[in-house]
């Protein structure tokens, strides 16, 4: 109902916040991505 008046996309990406020191506990990636330009599987 709120999608139509606000013209929102049906898909919105989810970006969890994880401490840099704990990132390897959750993601298989070794590079920094300060501007959320990388995708981690």
pLDDT tens-digit series, residues 17-36: 888 888 888 888 888 877 87
Tell me how far apart the alpha carbons of residues 27 and 14 are, in angstroms, rounded to a whole number: 14
DSSP label of 37: -
Tell me how far apart the alpha carbons of residues 31 and 40 are, in angstroms, rounded to a whole number: 10
Domain ranges of the chain: 11-41
Residue 12 clears pLDDT 80, i.e. is over it = no
DSSP label of 20: G
Predicted pLDDT at 5: 63
pLDDT category at 14 given cuts 50, 70, 90 is confident
H or E, element range at 32: none
């Amino acid at each position: 109902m709120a999608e139509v008046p606000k013209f929102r996309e049906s898909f919105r990406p989810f970006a969890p916040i994880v401490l840099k020191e704990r990132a390897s506990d959750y993601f298989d990636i070794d590079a920094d991505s300060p501007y959320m330009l990388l995708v981690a599987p």
